[in-house]
């Protein structure tokens, strides 16, 4: 019972990427603890900080190597040993503690990479895909200025982008490393073939096709059909609206690297249940199988499935009965239920669906058909559940949810003795954008800022759309000076973006205000202060970031 190795490999890569994101948060935490250790002025508090450092280093030492961060694993293990020695030696000497602290702080400044090719991993493809958390994009565009502009913009969004003007150069780069996506211009007057012919041939050569975005001056039906046949996931006319292109890339990756869907199977036939599990797992889903319908509650609660597959005929309790039981609970109303059955009588299928349940899959079913049926339901269910709590234009949290986040982080900051920053951002002269270029252009600007924020902020940060063109970000464990640096960088990158509507290029700026938690401030005061700082930024000329007084 072995999952096809490339799926497993992809799954492990996803977990490594998630671990890399965790590092981005944990390494600064280590530096923060090192700072606390340095500032501690009695042995008891030194001991407390050392204990906390030792535990965190221990965790990192165990995990880093498992995810391929070999040298980080070795460094943290050595530091853990040092922490243990210091815990024993605190009374005797204080001298060398300084070096230990410096080592820790240096560690958090360093970039760590996944080091590949342990002997035991199954055959890796000839050219490995980039495995870091940053997505790598190759651009083939024969006009140097356009290509370079695209590269810069995508880099601003946090991608690792490379630009090539000739097919030969792109080919050479592909030999070294495969990107996560390709952007290809169709019209290449200097080459023997069109960009699409090249892309189609390239996709044939690869084990798995790469996400492809196509840019062109011809947007006729034939070209679009050719693009789809070459595996294009996006099609853009020149001049290209790059933020829109970026939005499409983001969607591609969300689909590709999103969390696996969770599927619960209830079938009294153990063999069949494990067969279905295997098929769905090899399609990168997480599966739990259940043979006794009476166990349904604990599985629904702990596993929280996104789709339930029910056998129709089970002893003791039929599928439709079990579906009705599931539907009795309000929490599970949204979970799609698919029946698995040998039943081909349409009228009996109908009567089962009328009781409860959403779909019927008839046994025997091919592996592909099963995957397709479950995948479609799961995807839809997840989209819907996101849509209910998230803003539809930007995918960010809605007003009430982000506001709640402010209160949560304030409380956490007070408990942990750290500082959190609250940032209110507003797009400058947004009404003018809508008036001059139309509402779709305005929406595009809002989406671009949302994506930029998502790319540049940490995973622990919360981000919401507060009002029409107003955004709110909550940055835990982030003192105001640091927040100022981060947000100012985002402000500059946003101002550098070029939007295009019907051939006219325009740029937009933003203003932001930052407030910071302290001992006796309420959540609403925090928001008010950030709002006042934003107002001050607007008053003093816009396109700037101001701190609350």
**Residue 122 contacts another protein per CB under 8 A:** yes
Smallest separation (angstroms) from another protein to the CB of 56: 11
- 87, containing H or E segment: helix 70-89
Q: Does 8 bind another protein (CB under 8 A)?
A: yes
Closer Cβ to another protein, 117 or 328, answer by number: 117
**CB 524 within 8 Å of CB 422:** no
By CB under 8 A, residue 63 contacts another protein: yes
Name the residue among 218, 127, 209 with its Cα closest to residue 173. Answer: 127
- Minimum Å distance from CB 158 to another protein? 22
| Residues forming a β-bridge with 160 | 136
Q: Which of 2, 123, 168, 346 binds another protein (CB under 8 A)?
A: 2
User: Is 19 near another protein (CB under 8 A)?
Assistant: yes
Q: Is 12 in the site for another protein (CB under 8 A)?
A: yes
Applying the rule CB under 8 A, the residues between 198 and 257 that interact with another protein are: none
DSSP-derived 3-state class of residue 288? strand
Distance CA(345)–CA(497), nearest Å, equals 59
Minimum CB separation of residue 84 from another protein in Å reads 10
In this complex, which beta carbon is closest to another protein, that of residue 171 or of residue 295?
295
Structure tokens that stand for 238 in this block = 């020149």
The total number of residues shown for the chain amounts to 549
Least distance in angstroms from the C-beta of 157 to another protein: 26
- CA–CA separation, 350 and 58 (whole Å): 57
Question: Which of residues 58 and 129 has its CB atom nearest to another protein in the complex?
Answer: 58
**Interface segment toward another protein; rule CB under 8 A; list 60-68, 134-142, 442-450, 466-474:** 60-68
Please report, as residue ranges, which positions from 259 to 298 form the binding site for another protein (by CB under 8 A): 281, 298
Q: Give the span between the Cα atoms of 221 and 94, in whole angstroms.
A: 75
The span from the first CA to the last CA of the chain, in angstroms, equals: 63
The residue range among 114-122, 157-165, 329-337, 436-444 that interacts with another protein, by the rule CB under 8 A, is: 114-122
The least CB distance from residue 67 to another protein, in Å, is 7
- Shortest Å distance, C-beta 16 to another protein: 8
3-state secondary structure 431-495: HHHHHHHCHHHHHHHHHHHHHHHHHHCCCCCEEEECCCCEEEEEECCCCHHHHHHHHHHHHHHHH
d(CA 537, CA 529): 12
Residue among 80 and 162 whose Cβ is closer to another protein:
80
Q: Does 65 bind another protein (CB under 8 A)?
A: yes
* Consecutive H or E run containing 280: helix 270-282
Q: Footprint of another protein on this chain (CB under 8 A)? A: 1-3, 7-8, 11-12, 15, 18-19, 22, 55, 58-59, 61-67, 73, 77, 80, 118, 120-122, 281, 298
């Amino acid at each position: 019972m072995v999952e096809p190795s490339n799926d497993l490999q992809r799954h492990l890569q996803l977990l490594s990427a998630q671990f890399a994101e965790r590092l981005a948060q944990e390494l600064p935490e280590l530096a923060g603890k090192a700072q606390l250790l340095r500032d501690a002025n009695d042995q008891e508090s030194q001991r407390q900080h050392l204990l906390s450092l030792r535990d965190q280093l221990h965790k990192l030492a165990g995990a880093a190597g498992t995810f391929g961060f070999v040298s980080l694993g070795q460094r943290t293990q050595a530091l853990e040993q040092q922490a243990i020695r210091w815990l024993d030696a605190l009374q005797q000497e204080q001298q060398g503690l300084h070096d230990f602290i410096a080592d820790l702080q240096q560690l958090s400044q360093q970039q760590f990479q996944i080091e590949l090719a342990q002997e035991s991993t199954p055959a890796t493809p000839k050219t490995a895909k980039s495995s870091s958390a940053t997505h790598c994009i190759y651009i083939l565009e024969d006009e140097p200025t356009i290509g370079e502009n695209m590269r810069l913009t995508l880099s601003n969004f946090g991608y690792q982008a490379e630009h090539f003007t000739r097919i030969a150069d792109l080919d050479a780069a592909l030999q070294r490393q495969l990107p996560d996506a390709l952007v290809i211009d169709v019209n290449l007057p200097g080459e023997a073939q069109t960009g699409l012919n090249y892309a189609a041939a390239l996709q044939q050569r690869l084990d798995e096709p790469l996400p492809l975005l196509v840019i062109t001056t011809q947007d006729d039906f034939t070209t679009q059909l050719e693009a789809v046949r070459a595996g294009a996931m996006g099609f853009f006319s020149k001049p290209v609206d790059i933020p829109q292109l970026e939005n499409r890339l983001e969607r591609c990756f969300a689909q590709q690297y999103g969390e696996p869907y969770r599927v619960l199977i209830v079938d009294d036939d153990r063999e069949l249940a494990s067969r279905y599990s295997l098929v769905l797992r090899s399609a990168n889903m997480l599966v739990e199988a259940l043979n006794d319908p009476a166990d349904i509650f604990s599985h629904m609660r702990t596993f929280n499935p996104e789709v339930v597959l029910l056998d129709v005929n089970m002893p003791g309790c039929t599928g439709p009965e079990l579906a009705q039981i599931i539907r009795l609970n309000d929490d599970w109303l949204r979970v799609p239920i698919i029946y698995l059955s040998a039943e081909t009588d349409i009228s009996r299928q109908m009567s089962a669906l009328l009781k409860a349940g959403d779909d019927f899959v008839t046994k025997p079913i091919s592996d592909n058909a099963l995957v397709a049926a479950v995948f479609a339901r799961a995807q839809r269910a997840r989209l819907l559940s996101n849509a209910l709590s998230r803003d539809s234009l930007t995918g960010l949290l809605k007003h009430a949810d982000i506001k709640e986040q402010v209160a949560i982080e304030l409380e956490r900051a007070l408990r942990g003795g750290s500082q959190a920053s609250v940032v209110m951002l507003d797009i400058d002269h947004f009404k003018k954008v809508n008036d001059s270029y139309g509402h779709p252009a305005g929406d595009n600007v809002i989406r671009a800022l949302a994506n930029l924020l998502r790319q540049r902020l940490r995973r622990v940060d919360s981000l919401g759309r507060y009002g029409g063109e107003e955004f709110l970000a909550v940055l835990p464990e982030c003192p105001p000076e640091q927040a100022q640096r981060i947000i100012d960088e985002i402000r500059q990158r946003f101002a550098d973006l070029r939007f295009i509507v019907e051939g006219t290029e325009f740029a937009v700026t933003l203003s932001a205000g930052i407030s910071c938690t302290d001992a006796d401030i309420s959540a609403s005061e925090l928001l008010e202060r950030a709002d006042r700082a934003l107002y001050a930024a607007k008053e003093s000329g816009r396109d700037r970031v101001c701190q609350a007084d």
